[in-house]
Amino acid sequence: MKKQVGVLTFGKQITIADPSLDPNETGCINKLKIYPGIYRCILFSRSSDLGKDHIKRAQIVSVNAPISDKELYCLGAWKRLGTIDVESGFAGFFADGTRASDDEVWKGYSQFLFSRIKYGEPYAVIDNDGGAGTAFCSTPGMNYGKYEVFVMRRKMYPLRYTPEEIVAAEIRF
């Protein structure tokens, strides 16, 4: 099941990580250059035998990118970027500047983020709420471990030598 859970504005760089990890640790994808603009926050889930939905994929997708819904479902349209470590049971996309280099600031931000996720809600969308920064965070299906990150690139300008830019990113749980 596909569900859009929010819309956020991201600048030219994001971090994809577990919010409880130090931003300088390995297991994070830092300063990933993306096409700046408004992004849809999308979750793909499936129901379990227990009647509870399990998140399988979390995506951010530029509203300006020429991407069809069919492509979002097609796993082959995505290119593997790397992996992230998840230790807290949450992982997500953070705007540049959200993941502070100061450990105390980041610890405070992590606590704020976790307090925003209601019991039973598998995600949080924060649009610079309380000055904490912009983030889209989700609970992975199996909680802890390494999860793959994929991206989709498109030419956003019609010029011949314009490089393709990242217009969508996805964590596969």
**DSSP codes, 93-136:** EEETTTS-SSHHHHHHHHHHHHHHS-TT--EEEEESGGG--EEE
Q: What is the mean pLDDT of residues 25-42?
A: 87
**Do 35 and 60 contact (CB within 8 A), yes or no?**
no
Q: What is the mean pLDDT of residues 41-48?
A: 81
Residue appearing with tokens 């405070």: 108
Calpha distance 97→84 (Å, rounded): 19
CA–CA distance from 13 to each of 16, 30, 45, 66, 87 (Å)? 10, 8, 27, 20, 23
**Do 121 and 45 contact (CB within 8 A), yes or no?**
no
**Do 165 and 156 contact (CB within 8 A), yes or no?**
yes
Closest CA to 64 of 94, 37, 34: 37
Q: What is the mean pLDDT of residues 28-35?
A: 88
Vertex 71 angle, CA 171 and 162, to 5° = 90
- pLDDT the model gives residue 143: 67
- Reported pTM: 0.84
Share of the chain above pLDDT 70, in %: 73
Per-residue pLDDT reduced to its tens digit, 59-91: 999 998 888 888 888 878 899 999 998 887 788
* pLDDT averaged over every residue in the chain: 79
| pLDDT band at residue 33 using 50, 70 and 90 as cut-offs | very high
- pLDDT the model gives residue 27: 80
